[in-house]
Amino acid sequence: MSPSRSAGGRAAPLRLGVLFSGAGSNLKAILEACERGAIDAEVRVAITNRPRAAGCAFSRDRGIPTLVIPRNAFPGREAQQAAFRQACVDHGVELVIQAGFDQILDSAFVAEFRDRMINLHPSLLPAFGGGMHAVRDALDWGAKVTGVTVHIANDDLDAGPIVLQEAVAIEEEDTEETLLARIHEVEHRLLPAAIQLFAEGRVRVAGRRAHILPPK
Ligand code: GRF
């Protein structure tokens, strides 16, 4: 009997590994999109480097393997990175999502998941890349527009090929908090949309560009 096919034409959902360090609102958005059937994907493993990351509850409550892999449990950075990598390999991960993950993945990890790893960044890259405070930086700069970028993660920090971007206007009365809230709204839509493009096999990386192919 042939396996049933989903709307995206896949025989089985795209297997995701989600790396996060904090609140995990994007992990939650991905889990909910999977549950609604809005994306042809499933979270096979959620991994955090922060034992107190609030996001752990979202995946644990759904019975999804949720691993805590903190830096101080390993003799060195390389060993911790190898544990991240092994966990993704062991869970058959096809696409790695960095959703608010605050460590840079080493070249061995990147090599294992080349062009199969995406990062979420709260600005319109290449503006306000390379740091952990892109929302505050855009406000401090006096920018009138910022936004959200989903890009292929590679060895160059915040500089891999861009998959999706969406602009967010900065209003005169914005504080970091109000702007971040609007950025989150966009992230919670854009990240699942990017995952669906991968599920449909519509992302082709060529040099600096991630081409989005038409629907099949
Ligand atoms: C997001 O704003 C993301 O762009 C940034 O870290 C934040 C993570 O938020 N890299 P959450 O933990 O998913 O709520």
Task: Write out pLDDT tens, residues 66-83.
Answer: 999 999 999 999 999 999
What are the sequence ranges of the domains in the chain? 14-203
Q: What angle do CA 194, 99, 151 make, to 5 degrees?
A: 45
Cβ–ligand 1 contact at 98 (below 6 Å): no
Cβ–ligand 1 contact at 99 (below 6 Å): yes
Buried b (16+ CB within 10 A) or exposed e, 4-42: eebebeeeebbbbbbbbbbebbbbbbbbebbeeeebbbe
Interatomic CA distance for residues 63 and 94, integer angstroms: 20
pLDDT value at residue 4 = 47
The two beta strands, 203-206 and 209-212, are antiparallel
Give the closest residue (by CA) to ligand 1 atom 6.
Answer: 100
Interatomic CA distance for residues 120 and 118, integer angstroms: 7
> How many Å lie between the centroid of ligand 1 and the Cα of residue 93?
21
The number of the ligand 1 atom at minimal distance from the alpha carbon of 119 is 10
Cβ–ligand 1 contact at 147 (below 6 Å): no
Q: Please list, in sequence order, all residues whose beta carbon lies within 8 angstroms of the beta carbon of residue 72, skipping any fewer than 6 positions away.
A: none
Testing ligand 1's pocket by substitution, the residue of 18, 20, 25, 195 carrying the most ligand atoms inside 8 A of its CB is: 25
pLDDT value at residue 3 = 44
Q: Which residue has the tokens 């809005």?
A: 38
Contact between 82 and 108 (Cβ < 8 Å): yes
Contact between 154 and 111 (Cβ < 8 Å): no
pLDDT value at residue 11 = 82
Instruction: Output phi, psi for 126, to 5 deg.
Output: -85, 5
Ranges in the chain, pLDDT < 70 = 1-9
pLDDT value at residue 109 = 97
Contact between 161 and 187 (Cβ < 8 Å): no
pLDDT value at residue 9 = 59
> How many Å lie between the centroid of ligand 1 and the Cα of residue 99?
6
Cβ–ligand 1 contact at 129 (below 6 Å): no
Domain spanning 14-203 has what CATH number?
3.40.50.170
> How many Å lie between the centroid of ligand 1 and the Cα of residue 53?
12
The one catalytic residue among 91, 121, 151, 211: 121
pLDDT value at residue 2 = 41
Helix (H, G, I), strand (E, B) or coil at 11: coil
Task: Write out pLDDT tens, residues 119-144.
Answer: 999 999 999 999 899 999 999 999 99
Helix (H, G, I), strand (E, B) or coil at 64: coil
Q: Which amino acid, residue 137?
A: D
Known catalytic residue at 121:
yes
Cis upstream peptide for 126 (omega within 30°): yes
Give the closest residue (by CA) to ligand 1 atom 2.
Answer: 122
Cβ–ligand 1 contact at 100 (below 6 Å): yes
